[in-house]
Amino acid sequence: MLGLTTRFSFLALCVLQIDEEVAKLLELKAQLGGDDGKHQFVLKTAKGTRDYNPRQMAIREKVFNTIIGCFKRHGAETIDTPVFELKETLTGKYGEDSKLIYDLKDQGGELLSLRYDLTVPFARYLAMNKITNIKRYHIAKVYRRDNPAMTRGRYREFYQCDFDIAGQYDAMIPDAECLKIVHEILSELELGDFCIKVNDRRILDGMFAVCGVPIDKFRTICSTVDKLDKVRLSQQEAHAEDSVSVGSVAGGGRYDGLVGMFDPKGRKVPCVGVSIGIERIFSIMEQKAEASAEKVRTTEVQVMVVSAQKNLLQERLKLVSDLWNGGVKAEMMYKKNPKLLSQLQHCEEAGIPLVAILGEQELKDGVVKLRVVSTREEVNAL
């Protein structure tokens, strides 16, 4: 009897433990999202980042093409560098803004950080490859653990468009070209009135010295002075909701001693450059496009291949393939027998300028009927 009681007690204990584990599993299941087992979370982009839809990307591409075209017009070649650098490469190069650098976890013995800008990696590239003379541009993403202001084009992940001239040249000639580049880009983008301010940090340093500011505080105070325009802009925006002003959209200057910080022998390479703030420029252009209700094409398709009757899929495929092979940007609907009206409506909605129409009569005559969408004028082409 005692043995039987012991077995019942053991079974009761097991049942109790099972119940407890089942309760834990049910609780975990509820946390993971109920019966379908899917984890419940909010779908959103990370703080300080954003997605861009096709219309927005079309505007961005126009800006990028304008900037790249200007850089190439001035004879620059391009390079690329890793999105992350050794932490020690970036350490001590940004003053108080070093706290905004994104540090990564130890990856197999290397302490890494996401690049804060494109200038320090460029200086590292010059020193590492012993380059003393180059005119280069670099367009890539950088990362800053800053407080984002999305409406003013300030993000944690954003593009920089840099143009730099490295080498020993006669004074101020490369500097003047950098100013010319800024003027060309801002004028071509038609952003409105703008002002390019030119200064010399040494003048500011002299003012600090006269005021008794300790030398080791110069850079910190300079950084604060640089931010005065941001503070002033924020105050203005608080009273002007319709403003599309975003403050500074470009900046640059000399950094003759930076390359020497990476060179084992401290050899300096004089450098001057400018960085175009693509995100702030895009904020202005995006708001202007929305205000004007401007229609923006999101593709570059030149010709839409359509059929006027059924059972012409093979003929459409052959024609669109011939157009592609000829370098013509073309497309067709992914249906065997699409309705002619649906095909023509797609052309109007997408802004496609030309329609190539295939029908039984056209095939019999060995021609293709071309229609101009805007005027509906039609001609036969062999």
Binding-site members are: 117-119, 144, 160, 164
The pLDDT of residue 4 is above 50: no
Binding-site members for L-histidine are: 117-119, 144, 160, 164
Whether 131 is in a domain gets the answer yes
How many other C-beta atoms lie within 10 A of the C-beta of residue 84? 19
Q: Do 279 and 343 belong together in one domain?
A: no
Whether 175 is in a domain gets the answer yes
Q: Do 87 and 147 belong together in one domain?
A: yes
Find, among 240, 247, 268, 238, the residue nearest to 256 by Cα: 268
| 281-287-291-294 Cα dihedral, nearest 10 degrees | 60
Question: What would the pLDDT profile of 13-34 be if each residue is shown by its tens digit?
Answer: 555 577 777 777 777 776 665 5
Q: Do 120 and 142 belong together in one domain?
A: yes
Whether 26 is in a domain gets the answer no
292, 326, 352 — which closes off a domain? 292
Find, among 295, 296, 313, 316, the residue nearest to 304 by Cα: 316
Q: What CATH number corresponds to the domain at position 124?
A: 3.30.930.10
Question: What would the pLDDT profile of 204-232 be if each residue is shown by its tens digit?
Answer: 889 989 999 998 888 788 777 777 766 66
Q: What CATH number corresponds to the domain at position 355?
A: 3.40.50.800
Q: Any idea what the Cα angle at residue 357 is, between residues 354 and 363, rounded to 5°?
A: 145
Whether 237 is in a domain gets the answer no
Q: Do 115 and 161 belong together in one domain?
A: yes
The pLDDT of residue 164 is above 80: yes
Structural domains counted in the chain: 2
Residue type, 156: R
Q: Which domain holds residue 137?
A: 54-194+249-292
Whether 121 is in a domain gets the answer yes
pLDDT of residue 22: 76
pLDDT of residue 75: 97
Whether 90 is in a domain gets the answer yes
- Region of 213 on the Ramachandran plot (φ > 0 left; ψ -120 to 50 alpha; else beta): beta
In three state form, how does the secondary structure of the chain look?
Answer: CHHHHHHHHHHHHHHHHHHHHHHHHHHHHHHHCHHHCCCCCCCCCCCCCCCCCHHHHHHHHHHHHHHHHHHHHCCCEECCCCCEEEHHHHCCCCHHHHHHCCECCCECCECEEECCCCHHHHHHHHHHCCCCCEEEEEEEEEECCCCCEHHHCECCEEEEEEEEEECCCCCCHHHHHHHHHHHHHHHHCCCCCCCCCCCCHHHHHHHHHHCCCCHHHHHHHHHHHHCHHHHHHHHHHCCCCCCCCCCCCEEEEECCCCHHHCCCCCCCCCEEEEEECHHHHHHHHHHHHHHHCCCCCCCCCCEEEEECCCCCHHHHHHHHHHHHHCCCCEECCCCCCCCHHHHHHHHHHHCCCEEEEECHHHHHHCCEEEEECCCCCEEEEC
303 and 352 Cβ atoms separated by less than 8 Å: yes
292, 317, 347 — which closes off a domain? 292
Whether 40 is in a domain gets the answer no
pLDDT of residue 128: 95
Q: Do 275 and 151 belong together in one domain?
A: yes
The pLDDT of residue 37 is above 90: no
Q: Do 273 and 367 belong together in one domain?
A: no
Whether 23 is in a domain gets the answer no
Q: Do 375 and 307 belong together in one domain?
A: yes
Q: Do 113 and 159 belong together in one domain?
A: yes
263, 292, 321 — which closes off a domain? 292
Question: What would the pLDDT profile of 68-99 be if each residue is shown by its tens digit?
Answer: 999 999 999 999 999 999 999 998 888 778 89
Backbone angles phi, psi at 279, to 5 degrees: -65, -40
Q: Do 256 and 324 belong together in one domain?
A: no
pLDDT of residue 97: 82
- Lowest-pLDDT range of 145-149, 239-243, 331-335, 360-364: 239-243
Question: What would the pLDDT profile of 263-284 be if each residue is shown by its tens digit?
Answer: 988 899 999 999 999 998 998 8
Q: Do 256 and 377 belong together in one domain?
A: no
Q: Do 96 and 159 belong together in one domain?
A: yes
Q: Do 366 and 258 belong together in one domain?
A: no
